[in-house]
C-alpha cells in the first residue's frame, strides 16, 4: 500500500520544473511581478519626493509670510511719512528753531529710523538711471536722456521688495521740451 500511496500523491511544485510550459509561465509571471514592483517603487519614490517638495514649499511660504507680514502696515504708514516730509520742508525759517518744530522733526526722524530698522528703505533716484522696476515716470523734461531729473514722490522698498515706486521726472535729452506722459 505504501507503494500505491506514493504513486497517487501529487507531485509538489518543485517537481514541475520538468514541464517547459510551466517554466515559461513562471518566468512571465515573475517578469510581470518584477515590473509591477518596480512601478510601485517608482510611484512611491515620486510620492516621497512630492511630499518633501510640498513641505519645503510650505516652509518657504511661511518664511515669506513672516518676512513680509508688515507690508500692509508699512503701506499705510508711507503717506504719514509723506505728510511729515511736506510739513517739515515747508516750515518758515523764522520758526525753524522753535522747540515744538524741533520736536516734530525729532519725532519724524525717530519714526523713520524705526521703520528702516524693520526693513523699509527709500529708493534713491535723483541722478540715477531710470529703472521701470522701481520708478514711475510722470513726465519727461530737458536733461540727460534716461536719467532721473527730479523726484516728485519718494518710493520705498521693504526687504528688497518694491512697496511703492518713486514717482519721477526723467530727462529726455538736452534740447527737448517737457512732455507729460499722461497727455500722450
Query: What is the rounded distance in angstroms from the CA atom of residue 133 to the CA atom of residue 25?
Result: 68
Query: What is the rounded distance in angstroms from the CA atom of residue 166 to the CA atom of residue 138?
Result: 10
Q: Give pTM, 2 decimals.
A: 0.63
Q: Which residues contact 127 (CB under 8 A, 6 or more apart)?
A: 147, 148
Report pLDDT for 175: 59
178 falls in which pLDDT band (50, 70, 90)? very low
Which residues are bridge partners to 150 per DSSP?
169
Tell me which CATH homologous superfamily contains domain 71-180. Head domain of nucleotide exchange factor GrpE (2.30.22.10)
pLDDT in tens, 10-20: 555 545 445 77
pLDDT at 69 over 50: yes
Report pLDDT for 76: 93
User: Mean of the pLDDT values across residues 130-141?
Assistant: 94
Report pLDDT for 20: 73
User: Mean of the pLDDT values across residues 80-88?
Assistant: 93
- Least reliable range by pLDDT among 61-70, 78-87, 153-162: 61-70
Q: Residue 150: which of 176, 130, 175 has the closest Cα?
A: 130
85 falls in which pLDDT band (50, 70, 90)? very high
Query: What is the rounded distance in angstroms from the CA atom of residue 11 to the CA atom of residue 41?
Result: 36
DSSP letter assigned to residue 70: T
Report pLDDT for 154: 94
CA within 13 Å, CB half, 132: 0
Alpha-helical runs (H) found in the chain = 2-8, 20-67, 71-89, 99-117
68 falls in which pLDDT band (50, 70, 90)? confident
Amino acid at each position: 500500500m505504501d507503494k500505491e500511496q506514493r504513486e497517487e500523491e501529487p507531485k509538489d511544485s518543485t517537481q514541475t520544473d520538468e514541464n517547459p510550459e510551466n517554466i515559461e509561465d513562471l518566468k512571465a509571471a515573475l517578469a510581470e511581478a518584477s515590473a509591477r514592483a518596480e512601478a510601485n517603487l517608482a510611484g512611491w519614490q515620486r510620492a516621497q519626493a512630492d511630499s518633501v517638495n510640498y513641505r519645503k514649499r510650505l516652509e518657504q511660504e511661511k518664511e515669506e509670510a513672516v518676512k513680509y507680514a508688515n507690508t500692509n502696515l508699512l503701506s499705510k504708514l508711507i503717506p504719514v511719512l509723506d505728510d511729515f516730509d511736506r510739513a517739515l520742508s515747508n516750515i518758515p525759517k523764522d520758526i525753524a528753531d522753535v522747540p515744538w518744530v524741533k520736536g516734530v522733526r525729532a519725532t519724524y526722524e525717530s519714526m523713520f529710523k524705526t521703520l528702516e530698522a524693520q526693513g523699509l528703505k527709500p529708493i534713491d533716484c535723483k541722478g540715477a538711471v531710470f529703472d521701470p522696476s522701481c520708478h514711475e515716470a510722470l513726465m519727461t523734461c530737458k536733461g540727460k536722456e534716461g536719467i532721473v531729473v527730479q523726484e516728485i514722490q519718494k518710493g520705498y522698498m521693504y526687504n528688497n521688495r518694491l512697496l511703492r515706486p518713486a514717482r519721477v521726472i526723467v530727462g529726455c535729452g538736452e534740447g527737448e521740451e517737457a512732455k507729460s506722459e499722461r497727455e500722450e
